């Protein structure tokens, strides 16, 4: 191994597959620290519904970007790219290894490849889009994006209002399609990525998700969501596990139906995660039950 080279060992895969446990085993082996790229785990007010690592797990390996900001803070993927690269540069001064782990594909890509250079947009545009979404629904956002940027409309997660509004605000604010800003500028990276993917057959994956939701409910997810309910319009809370319980508090869902919706929507989210991650260049995929020692051997052989 070239001792001058820096390696970012990256663990990807769908929700509830065991990424945190695997990342900790890898970090312990290489005596290095972990950066979380799970955009839901950044928020200090959201712990149970985002499955943040336990105190025991946090003690086993030092983690960064876990509950580091508030739901009231504006924090973009561009902010994360800047902060994560700064942290990696700091860590690499004393260690040749670091671990990146998470289920947010956009945030993983921002660190591994660099983020596209988007123009600044007047915040009033986003406020208008939020008002339009609340009044006219997601179908309005979809039709507007299809009109303004058919290429990006084809690729975007069409049931994700945040992604739709982000693309629309760039289209409207710049007068150019969102897709025209993609893949123009990529920032160079000083590290070599080694990407580990964890997967399972669909039935197993869905069973693990259902079980995790039941565990979250048992841990107090409903009380956590109730505390956040007054702030339900915030961007950070437009997320699976909270949205469904807000509908229960609104009287639109029964509790049992809300919990089933969380499971269903989490399963859909996992499917989208796999579609995204399967495009990751150079990723080596392992069954989620693969012993950490086998994966560590693969990493050692890749150095």
Residue 240 to residue 262: CA distance in whole angstroms: 6
Asked if residue 278 belongs to a known ligand binding site, the reply is no
Listing DSSP states for 219-250 in one string gives HTHHHHHHHHGGGTTSGGG-STTTHHHHHHHT
Q: How far apart (Å, rounded) are the C-alpha atoms in residues 254 and 56?
A: 35
Ligand-binding site membership of 283 (annotated): no
Residue 69 marked ligand-binding: no
17 marked as binding residue: yes
Q: Which of 196, 207, 157 is nearest to 16 (CA)?
A: 207
- Residue 19 annotated in ligand binding: yes
Cβ within 8 Å of residue 146, ≥6 positions away? 153
Alpha-carbon gap, residue 132 to 165, rounded angstroms: 10
15 belongs to an annotated ligand binding site: yes
Q: Is residue 157 a known part of a binding site?
A: no
**Which residues on adjacent β-strands are paired with residue 11?**
101, 196
What residue has token string 């409910």? 217
Q: 261: which 2 tokens?
A: 């919706």
Q: Is 295 annotated as a binding-site member?
A: no
CA distance 214 to 203: 17
DSSP structure class, residue 9 = E
Q: What angle do CA 205, 221, 250 make, to 5 degrees?
A: 110
Distance in angstroms (rounded) separating the CA atoms of residues 3 and 150: 47
DSSP states of 29-60: HHT--EEE--TTTTBTT-STTTTPPPHHHHHH
Question: Residue positions in the annotated binding site for substrate?
Answer: 15-20
Question: Residue positions in the annotated binding site for ATP?
Answer: 13-20
Question: Residue positions in the annotated binding site?
Answer: 13-20
């Amino acid at each position: 191994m070239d001792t001058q080279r820096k390696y970012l060992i990256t663990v990807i895969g769908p929700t509830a597959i065991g990424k945190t446990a695997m990342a900790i085993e890898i970090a312990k082996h290489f005596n290095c620290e972990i950066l979380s790229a799970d955009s839901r785990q950044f928020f200090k007010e959201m712990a149970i519904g985002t499955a943040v690592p336990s105190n025991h797990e946090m003690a086993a390996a030092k983690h960064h970007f876990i509950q580091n900001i508030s739901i009231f803070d504006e924090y973009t993927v561009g902010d994360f790219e800047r902060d994560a690269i700064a942290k990696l540069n700091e860590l690499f001064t004393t260690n040749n290894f670091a671990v990146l782990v998470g289920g947010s594909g956009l945030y993983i890509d921002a660190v591994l490849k660099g983020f596209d250079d988007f123009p600044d947009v007047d915040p009033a545009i986003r406020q208008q889009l939020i008002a339009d979404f609340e009044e006219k629904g997601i179908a309005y956002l979809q039709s507007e994006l299809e009109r303004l940027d058919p290429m990006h409309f084809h690729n975007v997660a069409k049931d994700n209002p945040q992604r739709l509004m982000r693309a629309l605000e760039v289209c409207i604010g710049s007068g150019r399609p969102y897709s025209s800003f993609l893949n123009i500028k990529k920032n160079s990276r000083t590290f070599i990525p080694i990407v580990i993917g964890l997967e399972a057959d669909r039935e197993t994956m869905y069973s693990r998700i259902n079980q995790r939701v039941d565990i979250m409910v048992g841990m107090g997810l409903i009380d956590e969501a109730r505390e956040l309910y007054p702030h339900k319009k915030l961007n950070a809370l437009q997320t699976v596990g909270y949205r469904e319980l807000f509908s229960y508090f609104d009287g639109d869902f029964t509790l049992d139906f809300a919990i089933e919706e969380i499971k269903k929507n989490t399963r859909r989210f996992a499917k989208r995660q796999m579609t995204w991650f399967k495009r990751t260049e150079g990723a080596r995929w392992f069954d989620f039950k693969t012993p950490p020692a086998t994966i560590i051997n693969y990493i050692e052989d890749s150095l």
